[in-house]
Structure 1
Amino acid sequence: MRPRWTSRARISLRPASRRFTTLGIETSCDDTCVALLTTSHSSPRATLPFHKKSTSDNRSFRGVYPPTALAGHASSLANLVSEALSSCPGVRLDLVAVTRGPGMSANLAEGLALGKGLSVAWGVPLVGVHHMQAHALTPRLVSALDAPAAAAESLEEIAPSFPFLTLLVSGGHTQLVHSRSLADHAILANSANIAIGDALDKCARLILPPDVLASCPDVMYARALEAFAFPIGEDGMGSYSPPLKRADEIAPTVSPHGWSLCPPLAATRRMAYEFAALESRVQSIVSDLPSISVPQRRDLAIDIMKVAFEHLVGRVLIALEEDPSLRAASTLVVSGGVACNKFLMKVLRSMLDARGYGGMRVVAPPVELCTDNAAMIAWAGWEMYRAGYETALDVTVLKKWGVDPSGKDGGILGVEGWKRRQA
């Protein structure tokens, strides 16, 4: 019998128009995610015949507890892969894409080990994906998923086209990035300490009433904070007025309840983000108000998000003002879990419009593709594979892995383990 691994040599011989199936695996934190993505080497259209996740229950720890998250991957990952394959009878895998980093080492290893095994068993290539690159490319996935069935046979129709700006906002990262090409993402501003998602989660644990906190279905407390702050949804955000100039932006937010919030890094235009002080300030405010009422909690939730989000957008504006070349990027991508926040999108759009950048397009993925998911991993893996890259089977996980080619590790392509596919 002919060994199955010989199918690897046949991949480049298949017709470019044939549907190409990628299995995506994501295990960087507490979400166990698996997806099947179908694409073509000539068409901009993509479909997701399978897309599912299982999240470990960390609520008793009020945050992600590494042993629990790891146990969740061990108990769920193989079953999700089996479910994916059985849901698509007769499917033939062409590529395995798995998150290699950055993230929690043991959790990444769980996914990478299975990805390697499936690559060998099916005789197909492996691509170890950069988690943050995948977030940045997610709007391109959305563009491909939304493409009509009769889409023209041109991959150039996948949007946004390079270059574009990317605001990566999650529980682990806060970065403003100039996405110049598929694997070239220059970091313009980075978080000096904790990420915005982490800061909002911690603030939410202090602000949310005990009954609301106890009713949260998971540890994504920042999502509950937005729902608590705006119980009627986006209609309640209409009273927001953007700062018309930098002086307004860095002025303290003073509440009629007696507290004030100073914007981070107000005294400097240094390209960096700082969120740790916001959590400390909220803790102080709540401590000074032992009988804080629900209306006061709601106003504090709005104030803290306003200050945090204006700080995010303020650095985008500084970058655009100081480097005219960035204005060639007509699109600003907002991706990562915090991109789900509608108030963030309101603040972002309002500030850009008020400060002369109304022509910049702002795009964010739908909610199910903002948070960690395997569809974005499958897409990023396919884009890298289409560009000629595969990952060797002897690679290990990367707990830290930069996206910027000028960084110490050389960015996405600077690490060991990449192989250029032979034409």
Structure 2
Amino acid sequence: MIGGLWHIPRNIGRRLPVARIILRNYKVLALESSCDDSCLALLQKMPGQTAPVVLDEMKRTLNSQPFGGIIPTHAHEFHQKHIGNMLQDFCAKNGLDSVPPDLICCTRGPGMVGSLSVSLQLAKGLAIAWNKPLIGVNHMLGHILVSKLTSTPQYPFLSLLVSGGHTMLVHSKSISDHEILIDTCDIAVGDSIDKCARQIGLKGNLLGKELEEYVDSIPECVKLQLDEISTETRNNEFNFQLKLPLRGPHNKAIPDELQFTFAPFLSTIQHYMKNHSLDEGSKQFIAYKTQNHLFEHIIDRVNVALEKHGVVETIRTKGDSKFQGVRDLVFSGGVASNKTFRKLLQKGLNTKLLGAEPDSFSFHFPDISLCTDNAVMIGVAGIDIFENLKIKTDMSVLPIRKWPMNELLTVDGWIKVSEDEVNEVTCK
């Protein structure tokens, strides 16, 4: 009090300056080498956008055709030989030599350890040299989240991952909470497709694509005739029997444990080829029926999962409502590039079991070029991990051969990141 009057400081009632955090464009370099593809990508995350923008990407693939499949030591040597020169050219092309990216992402697993180690060690070196955070990404999470480039599935959603190494239905409740509901009990669908295609005489480095193109080349009038021929028994002109697995009288309609199985498709063709030679007609028939039955088996098992965990009661069961609120399905992985499979899935999936009207359920299909292994998906997933989970990867980590989707955060090597470090990357 001064002179009997209360003294009021001049700054009272005025707005004090507040530090402003302004989101900025930041760049992300991503590397992927989990199998036989050496991949690089540069992404830019822009303010106000949920998904990054792809600025550039580069990819080289090992030619495994002469060896009848991927040999791990060959893949390791391929990555060692090529990815360094690829990165040098990529950095020069995109000006990363003078202005490095703000975040480094690479695949840590799952995959072939020799292949994974090449890009992981390279990414560690870049992160140290440029003093930038490193994110070691789960390969399968990348396949799921790459759909964000074209659409935005809302949690909780289902993810159907179909590739050469994995086939699974995943219930995704958040970026870090995923439950595997169906897995394969033997080989993956992509592996089965490759081996079945090779058995009937198709050749190429990407046999799944070769089978798709061969089946697509069959005239529509011939396909209509093939549709009329049942393979439930051998009582057909080709003496070929092929039934959907896990649907016999000894199988429970709603099993306790849901599984896919793809080895029977290969063994069926191998047994048939011991006693039969193929002409063009029988080759078309077996290729067409095998591809369709492989896809129908997956759709059949997913529908059983929808019946078991949906919200609508059926004659066979009352769903446990685990899928309450699910209105989206992400379809990804190398086999998801097959256009016939996409059509069959949209037509055959019984989404009514979720209590969803047809117009309220959405299918999310990544761009076909992003279904096979690529570095873009690793960058997309890495950004999500860094921004939302606020963690990074320690430089001591090793590749992980098997890394289940439901164990994303239980592996070693995650480091909590402070808000200041996140802001250093994403803000100015």
TM interval, short-chain normalised: 0.7 to 0.9
The equivalent of 1:111 in structure 2 is 119
Which moves more between the two structures, 299-308 or 360-369? 360-369
What residue is the counterpart of 1:379 in the other structure? Answer: 380
Q: For the residues of structure 2 that align with 1:112 and 1:160, how far apart are their CA atoms?
A: 29
Q: Name the aligned partner's letter for residue 50 of structure 1.
A: D
* 2:133 alignment counterpart: 125
Distance 1:254 1:228, change over 3 A: farther
Conservation of the 8 A alpha-carbon contact between 2:34 and 2:116: yes
1:102-147 Cα offsets, whole Å, 9 max, x none, are: 000111111110000000001100000000011011101333xxxx
Q: In the alignment, is residue 278 of structure 1 matched against residue 268 of structure 2?
A: no
Instruction: Report the equivalent of 1:334.
Output: 331
Query: Which stretches in structure 2 are left out of the alignment for 5+ residues?
Result: 1-18, 311-320, 420-428
DSSP-derived class of the 1:261 partner: coil
Distance 1:68 1:263 in 2: 36
Aligned pair partner of 1:166 in 159, 163, 166:
159
Q: 1: distance between equivalents of 2:309 and 2:392?
A: 35
Aligned equivalent of 1:263? 244
Closer/same/farther in 2, CA of residues 238 and 113 from structure 1, 3 Å limit: farther
Question: Shift of residue 45 of structure 1?
Answer: 4.8
Q: Which residue of 2 aligns with 1:30?
A: 36
For residues 46 and 197 of structure 2, the distance between their equivalents in structure 1, rounded to whole angstroms, comes to 43
Q: CA RMSD in A?
A: 2.6
Question: Could you tell which deviates more after superposition, 359-368 or 62-71?
Answer: 359-368
| Equivalent position of 1:44 in the other structure | 50
Q: CA deviation at 1:254?
A: 6.7
- Is 1:416 the equivalent of 2:422? no
Letter in 2 for 1:393: M
Gaps of 5+ in 1: 1-12, 144-158, 243-247, 405-410
User: Which among 126, 134, 137 is matched to residue 145 of structure 2?
Assistant: 137
Q: Deviations over 1:63-95 (max 9, x none)?
A: 101121111101111122222211222543111
* Kept in 2: contact 1:128–1:381 (CA 8 A): yes
Tell me how far apart the structure 2 counterparts of residues 259 and 79 of structure 1 sit (CA, whole Å).
50
After superposition, the Cα gap between the structure-2 partners of 1:253 and 1:183, relative to the gap in structure 1 and judged at 3 Å, is: farther
Asked whether the 8 Å contact 2:159–2:171 carries over to 1, the reply is: yes
What letter matches 2:217 in structure 1? P
In structure 2, relative to structure 1, the CA distance for the partners of 1:68 and 1:251 (3 Å cut) is: same
1:104–1:82 CA distance, 2 compared to 1 (3 A): same
Q: Of 298, 302, 306, which residue of structure 1 is paired with 2:288?
A: 302
CA deviations on 1:377-402 (whole Å, 9 max, x unpaired) are 01101110111111111111111111
Matched AA of 2:375: A
Distance verdict in 2 for CA 1:110–1:343, change over 3 Å: same
Cα pair distance change 1:261/1:16, threshold 3 Å: farther
Q: Is the 8 A contact 1:254 1:261 kept in 2?
A: no
Which of 229, 232, 256 is equivalent to 2:215? 229
Deviation of residue 253 (structure 1)?
8.9
* 8 A contact 2:111–2:400 mirrored in 1: yes
- TM-score calculated relative to the size of structure 1: 0.83
Q: 1:229 touches 1:298 (CA, 8 Å); kept in 2?
A: yes
Quote how far apart the aligned CAs of 1:264 are. 1.3
Q: Provide the C-alpha distance between the structure 2 equivalents of 1:331 and 1:273, rounded to a whole number of angstroms.
A: 21
- Aligned match of 2:279: 293
Q: Does 1:367 align with 2:368?
A: yes
Are positions 1:346 and 2:343 aligned together? yes
CA contact (8 A) 2:303 2:349 kept: yes
Residue in structure 1 matching 2:196, options 203, 228, 241: 203
Q: Distance in 2 between matches of 1:107 and 1:190?
A: 24
1:287, CA displacement in angstroms?
2.2
Q: Give, in whole Å, the separation in 1 of the partners of 2:192 and 2:305.
A: 23
The amino acid that maps onto 2:412 is E
Name the counterpart of 1:184.
Answer: 177
Deviation at 1:320, TM superposition (A): 1.1
- Name 2:8's counterpart in structure 1: none
Single out whichever of 227-236 and 332-341 deviates more from structure 2: 227-236
Aligned match of 1:84: 90
Instruction: Give the distance between the partners of 1:362 and 1:233, measured in 2 at CA.
Output: 29
1:399 to 389, 397, 401: 401
Quote the Cα distance in structure 1 between the aligned partners of 2:370 and 2:221: 24
- Aligned-residue offset at 1:352: 2.0
Contact 2:106/2:379 (8 A) holds in 1: yes
1:327 and 1:240 map into 2 onto residues whose CA distance is 39
SS at 2:173's partner residue?
Answer: strand
Question: 1:182: Cα distance to partner?
Answer: 0.6
Taking structure 2 as the reference length, the TM-score comes to 0.82
1:5 maps to which residue?
Answer: none
Residue 421 (structure 1) shift: 0.7
Cα drift, residue 413 of structure 1: 0.4
Query: C-alpha displacement at 1:307, in angstroms?
Result: 1.4
Shift of 1:361: 2.0
After superposition, what is the alpha-carbon deviation per residue over 1:150-196, rounded to whole angstroms, capped at 9, x for unaligned?
A: xxxxxxxxx01211111110000010001111111100000001000
Higher Rg: 2
The answer to whether the 8 Å contact 1:22/1:94 transfers is yes
Aligned to 1:311: 297
| Aligned equivalent of 1:62 | 68
TM-fit CA distance, 1:286: 2.2
